[in-house]
């Protein structure tokens, strides 16, 4: 493989899908060049051709997700515990897809009476340990590589609910404050939930600062808090301050964490749209 083809495979390993148009813009080449690259990678059984792009070949997708799940485990668990302390008992919340979200689900098991909407089968499975939790799993197409439920049906389903807290995992945060992800199909679902939640939390370890995701989900100004494992770069920190977004880092500023707004905490019923 040449360097560009290797980069395409690496991106597919991170997101599970690569778009021909996005790859052409990223590498400054024609769409025909990307199609030829994808064709060669498909011939080598590294990718599987899809409409408008390509996905990981069968068998490699599960391995890629397992590899991601095993990275920075301690950091993810520390962030998850920090976030869990900001969620009151009997809250309603949405939990996004991603390996970090499984850590979040585990950290919430000590809570009581939570009501959760999710499109992540892994999250639903973890939370099912608690018999007093109400768990609503979105319908749609099951993406087997990461046990996510996705597609137009999923977006339509999620628009029916309004929750107290929405917890998102993202692909990258740029210095200008843009929140980015890899798959445009997942981004639309995240936007739908952003519009129907009272508190919006983003969970991201330090590898997401100025990462290589390309699809714009929103901006730091659209969320209420960022949970991460180390202090972000100066431009991102400045953007957080400018838009009054709360920053949570394990072991830093713990005494300054704002108390829960009891008025909002009492408004956590799941509300069909």
Q: Please write the tens of the pLDDT for every residue from 119-159.
A: 999 999 999 999 999 999 998 888 877 788 988 889 899 99
**What is the location of CATH 1.10.10.10 in the chain?**
3-66
CA-to-CA separations, 239 to 194, 195, 247, in angstroms, rounded: 19, 21, 11
Residue 5 CB contacts under 8 Å (≥ 6 apart), including other chains: 37, 40, 41
**What is the location of CATH 3.40.50.1360 in the chain?**
71-272
| Chain centroid, CA 248 distance in Å | 17
Q: What is the pLDDT of residues 39-76, one digit of tens each?
A: 999 988 888 888 888 887 765 554 455 555 545 678 88
Task: Provide the CATH number for the domain formed by 71-272 in this structure.
Answer: 3.40.50.1360
pLDDT over 60 at 166, yes or no: yes
Q: What is the pLDDT of residues 213-264, one digit of tens each?
A: 778 899 999 999 999 999 999 999 999 999 999 999 987 654 343 333 332 3
- 72's enclosing H/E stretch is none
The predicted pLDDT at position 144 comes to: 76
Task: Provide the CATH number for the domain formed by 3-66 in this structure.
Answer: 1.10.10.10
Q: What whole-number percentage of the chain has pLDDT above 70?
A: 85
The predicted pLDDT at position 167 comes to: 96
Is residue 216 helix, strand or coil? strand
CA-based R_g, the chain, Å: 19
The predicted pLDDT at position 59 comes to: 56
Whose CA is closest to 79, among 217, 224, 241, 247? 247
């Amino acid at each position: 493989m040449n360097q560009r083809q290797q980069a395409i495979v690496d991106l597919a390993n991170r997101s599970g899908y690569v778009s021909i148009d996005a790859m052409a813009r990223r590498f400054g080449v024609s769409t025909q060049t990307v199609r030829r690259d994808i064709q060669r990678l498909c011939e080598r059984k590294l990718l599987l051709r899809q409409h408008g792009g390509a996905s990981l070949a069968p068998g490699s997708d599960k391995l890629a997700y397992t590899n991601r799940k095993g990275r920075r485990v301690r950091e993810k668990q520390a962030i998850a515990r920090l976030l869990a302390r900001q969620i009151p008992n009997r809250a309603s919340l949405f939990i996004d897809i991603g390996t970090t979200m499984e850590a979040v689900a585990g950290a919430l098991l000590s809570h009581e009476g939570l009501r959760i909407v999710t499109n992540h089968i892994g999250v639903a499975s973890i939370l099912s340990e608690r018999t007093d939790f109400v768990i609503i799993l979105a319908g749609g197409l099951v993406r087997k590589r990461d046990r996510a439920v996705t597609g137009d049906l999923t977006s339509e389903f999620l628009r029916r609910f309004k929750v107290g807290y929405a917890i998102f995992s993202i692909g990258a945060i740029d210095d200008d404050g843009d929140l980015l992800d890899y798959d445009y199909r997942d981004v639309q679902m995240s936007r739908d939930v952003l519009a129907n939640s009272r508190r919006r939390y983003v969970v991201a370890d330090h590898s997401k600062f100025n990462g290589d995701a390309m699809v714009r989900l929103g901006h730091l100004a659209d969320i209420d808090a960022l949970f991460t494992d180390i202090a972000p770069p100066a431009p991102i920190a400045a953007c957080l301050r400018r838009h009054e977004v709360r920053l949570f880092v394990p072991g830093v500023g713990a005494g300054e964490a704002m108390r829960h707004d009891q008025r909002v905490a009492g408004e956590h019923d799941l509300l069909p749209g």
